[in-house]
């Protein structure tokens, strides 16, 4: 094999190695970001539970919030205050739902899918 071909082959291999290394670095950064976000979320959940008590799971909150929103829309003046009290109680049990990531289009889409699944399975 001529020297020129060997050099080109080595350069191509180096280029591939650099690209793989960059991909691995990006994956590591994404894992670190996710791990940091998860740690922050766990810390926030801990603070919420210390302040508001035990929290309900995601689907329970979705179903209860959907139900209370419907009740609020249909409540007569006589029972509106009672429905608002119940709404406040639900809000205190569902604070964790409010801190879930929902900033990127992917996160919003994932959140909407989870909500649909909860409402479909109620």
Q: What's residue 9's pLDDT?
A: 62
Interval 13-24: pLDDT, tens: 555 555 655 555
Report DSSP letters for 55-81, one per residue. PPPHHHHHHHHHHHHHHHHH--HHHHH
Contact 114, 50 (CB under 8 A): no
Average pLDDT, the chain: 81
| Distance (Å, whole) CA 20 – CA 122 | 46
| pLDDT value for 36 | 72
* CA distance linking residue 103 with residue 81, whole number of Å: 33
pLDDT of residue 90: 96
Q: What is the pLDDT of residues 24-82, one digit of tens each?
A: 555 554 555 557 778 887 898 899 999 999 999 999 999 999 999 999 999 999 999 99
The model carries a pTM of: 0.63
Token pair, residue 122, equals 């109620």
């Amino acid at each position: 094999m001529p020297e020129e071909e060997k050099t080109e082959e080595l350069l191509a291999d180096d280029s591939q190695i650099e690209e793989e290394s960059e991909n691995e670095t990006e994956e590591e950064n994404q894992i670190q970001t996710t791990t940091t976000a998860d740690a922050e979320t766990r810390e926030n959940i801990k603070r919420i539970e210390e302040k508001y008590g035990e929290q309900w799971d995601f689907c329970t909150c979705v179903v209860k919030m959907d139900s209370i929103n419907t009740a609020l829309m249909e409540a007569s003046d006589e029972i509106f205050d009672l429905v608002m009290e119940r709404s406040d109680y639900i809000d205190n049990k569902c604070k964790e739902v409010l801190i879930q990531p929902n900033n990127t289009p992917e996160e919003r889409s994932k959140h909407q899918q989870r909500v649909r699944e909860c409402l479909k399975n109620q």
